[in-house]
Structure 1
Amino acid sequence: MGRGVCVAAMMGAGLLPASPMLAASLSWSDTPAERARLMMSVQELEITLLTHPSATLALEDWCATHHMAARPVVVAQKVALPQPDPVPARVRADLGVSAAQPVRHRQVRLVCGPYVLSVADNWYVPALLTPQMNATLEGTDTSFGHVVAPLHFTRERLEFTRLWSPWPGPVVGQGGTMIVAPAEIVRQRAVLRDGQGRPFSEVVETYTDQTLAFTPQGQR
């Protein structure tokens, strides 16, 4: 069974309306060995995410380790968002900003080679970034982690959730004797703090089944 591509809906941890993300249907033979191997891959992904301060760097490390692209560089593809785009009250509370203080929202697909590995929603306080950083975020597809790297930021994780487990559990979808992964497998929410400890960004990152495309069955 090959890899199909369709348009699915993603809701960032209940913080915003559903928005489109690219989803791939990957499948593997439903055997104990395959489920165990997939479980190890999901656990490895979680460890990679938990041990990197930047999602961009984590995914580039993941791509390089699993040879998913000739040049393992993560590119951010901006998604057009509907206007107006109100900032959720929880985000303002997490960032410690008033209702009147500007907060911008940016949604991107993080892509390495042919794979959409993650969809990230990012709310950030432009007053805490440099003019050049703001211009780059507004005018280019450069990933947020690369843009704000000079801030020497740290990440405070607020949530980390495994959305799918290949072992144990029922087969997802209508694959018969196949394991069919859903589009979303891991999600995390975090606040980024600059070198002075000020929260300047909140991110909700949803990692897709395409992170597992390096596995032999997923590549078929």
Structure 2
Amino acid sequence: MKRLALVLAAMAGPAAAAAPAWPDTPLARVEALALLQTLNADLLSHPSATLTLERWCQAHGLADPPIVHARRDRGAARALPDDLRQALGTAPDTPVRYRRVRLACGDHVLSEADNWYLPGRLTDAMNRELDTRDTPFGKVVAALRFSRRTLSARLLWSPLPAGWEIRGLPPAAPGPLPLPHALLQHRALLLDGQGRPFSVVVETYTDQVLAFPAPGARQDAD
């Protein structure tokens, strides 16, 4: 039985070792919140979420090489919500394409993105690549020298309960820190170099952005 467990652990490979559970301690909760706020600020200050995630992946050793790949859901279909159509500034009859991808670094899916874009504001080569390949959207349209206007950014989960600064930090609990799948969500408008909107995205960042040892736990091990 022990031999079988060792074999299964070897088959799991580095991906399993790269995603240890965080302890459910006051320190780990504070660290998780600080890291989520750091990632949030980094995403808000750069136009390309893909490149931001690659920097995050490299900084935290999530994969080698730290390259983000898009895993496209080719069967996905979703109508453009009215509020996002208004942000995009398009008429109801304007052609809009939809793309749903999971942005992964190694074995870690860091983000799930819904993307509506205007093919008429992209080059033919860009549209062909988006239609036929799984390249991340930000890399395909990089030549547009685009900027990003955030429509909303919110934490979907907080490691600390409301009022913790008055009632104190929650006590340590046995077992790992329970992380929900979705941690952070951004809604953003992408504009080309002429200031014309050409895409709206809804990006949901997953628990895999924390798929590395908690800083405090790593220091304890050292």
TM range (shorter): 0.7 to 0.9
Q: Residue 203 of structure 2 aligns with which residue?
A: 205
Q: Residue 80 of structure 1 aligns with which residue?
A: 74
Number of matched pairs: 190
User: What is the CA–CA distance in structure 2 between the aligned matches of 1:104 and 1:27, rounded to whole Å?
Assistant: 39
| RMSD (Å) for aligned C-alpha atoms | 2.2
1:131 aligns with 2:129: no
User: What is the CA–CA distance in structure 1 between the aligned matches of 2:27 and 2:209, rounded to whole Å?
Assistant: 19
Alignment of 1:72-151 (within 5 A): 72-82=66-76, 85-151=78-144
Say whether the 8 Å CA contact 1:26–1:209 is kept in structure 2: no
Alignment of 1:15-54 (within 5 A): 27-54=21-48
User: What is the CA–CA distance in structure 2 between the aligned matches of 1:28 and 1:65, rounded to whole Å?
Assistant: 18
Q: Residue 10 of structure 1 aligns with which residue?
A: none
User: What is the CA–CA distance in structure 2 between the aligned matches of 1:69 and 1:126, rounded to whole Å?
Assistant: 33
- SS of 1:179's equivalent in the other structure is coil
Instruction: Supply the AA of the counterpart residue of 1:77.
Output: R
User: What is the CA–CA distance in structure 2 between the aligned matches of 1:112 and 1:164, rounded to whole Å?
Assistant: 22
Bigger helix share: 2
Say whether the 8 Å CA contact 2:20–2:212 is kept in structure 1: no
TM-score by length of 2: 0.79
User: What is the CA–CA distance in structure 2 between the aligned matches of 1:91 and 1:168, rounded to whole Å?
Assistant: 31
User: What is the CA–CA distance in structure 1 between the aligned matches of 2:160 and 2:71, rounded to whole Å?
Assistant: 32
Post-superposition offset of 1:216: 4.3
Q: Residue 189 of structure 1 aligns with which residue?
A: 187
**Unaligned ranges ≥5, structure 1:** 1-24
User: What is the CA–CA distance in structure 2 between the aligned matches of 1:44 and 1:156, rounded to whole Å?
Assistant: 19
Q: Give aligned-pair identity as a percent.
A: 47
User: What is the CA–CA distance in structure 1 between the aligned matches of 2:134 and 2:74, rounded to whole Å?
Assistant: 12
User: What is the CA–CA distance in structure 2 between the aligned matches of 1:64 and 1:139, rounded to whole Å?
Assistant: 28
**Unaligned ranges ≥5, structure 2:** 1-18, 165-172
